[in-house]
Amino acid sequence: MTRIKGTPETSSGQNRRKRSAVAKRRQIAEVAANLFFKKGFMQTTTKELAEACGMSVGTLYYYIKSKNDFPQMFCEIHNSDLDIMEKEIHKEMLVNTLENTLRKAVKQYLYWIDRRSKLIMFWYDTVRYLSQDQLRAITHAEFRAIGYFEEILEKGKKEGSFKFRDLRVTAYSIELLCHEWILKAPFLRGQYTLEEYSNLCQDMAVALARGIYKSSKKPAC
């Protein structure tokens, strides 16, 4: 008897299923970030995650192996978002001054921080519970964010627009200014709107890039 094989799935069909699964994992990750923010990573159960996502525990396990998948999922979202922001900034660098490009990069990153605040706070709150592999993934994502500013700063220094002293420290300082929006949220949000704080961060980033904020002492030899 001849065995009848099923019709192979087309590559376009496979791609659709893959995109759908990726989108669903992202939705689950965003729900999880909100839940971890409210209850804490260690205190949140898989059952609670499934209920918050509107699915059974069995269906949730189709998308994740365990709760420990979420740090990596959050890093994937972070890197995917940075891919988009980097493409936009690369286009901006071709048509605008580097100072204005830096301003746009700061605004874009700060608004992303505001949109992903619960995801970012997850890293700050949960870092002590993570494995070495998870910490390395987060560190890689952090250096990518710093590199987002380093590229603009480095090009600006080569062209004579910027006169900062240390590339890594300047880029990190700019990134930290943006993170302060969520780390010091109770204070800052009582004093500034997001737009006002964005303008302040842009001005400070440009000042740092120009080397206006200089140490009064030279480092010891």
Amino acid at 155: K
For residue range 107-144, list pLDDT tens digits in order. 999 999 999 998 888 888 887 778 888 888 888 888 98
For residue range 39-49, list pLDDT tens digits in order. 888 899 999 99
190: confidence class by pLDDT, cuts 50, 70, 90: very high
Whether residue 96 is predicted with pLDDT greater than 70 in this model: the reply is yes
Tell me, rounded to whole angstroms, the distance of Cα 136 from its chain centroid: 15
What region, left, alpha or beta, does residue 40 occupy, with left being phi > 0 and alpha being psi -120 to 50 degrees?
left
52 with 60: CB under 8 angstroms?
Answer: no
Give the residue from 169, 126, 153, 148 showing the smallest Cα distance to 209: 153
Q: What is the pLDDT of residue 151?
A: 95
In order of their start, the domains of the chain are 11-64 (1.10.10.60), 69-210 (1.10.357.10)
Which of 14-18, 63-67, 110-114, 116-120 has the highest average model confidence (pLDDT)?
110-114
Amino acid at 141: A
Give the residue from 120, 213, 220, 100 showing the smallest Cα distance to 175: 120
| Cα 113 from Cα 81, distance rounded (Å) | 11
How big is the chain, counted in residues?
A: 221
Q: What is the pLDDT of residue 187?
A: 92
Give the CA distances from residue 68 to residues 156, 187, 217, in Å, rounded to whole numbers and listed in that order.
41, 32, 46
pLDDT, the chain, mean: 86
CB atoms within 10 A of CB 59: 13
Give the residue from 210, 116, 201 showing the smallest Cα distance to 160: 210
Whole-model pTM?
Answer: 0.81
164: confidence class by pLDDT, cuts 50, 70, 90: very high
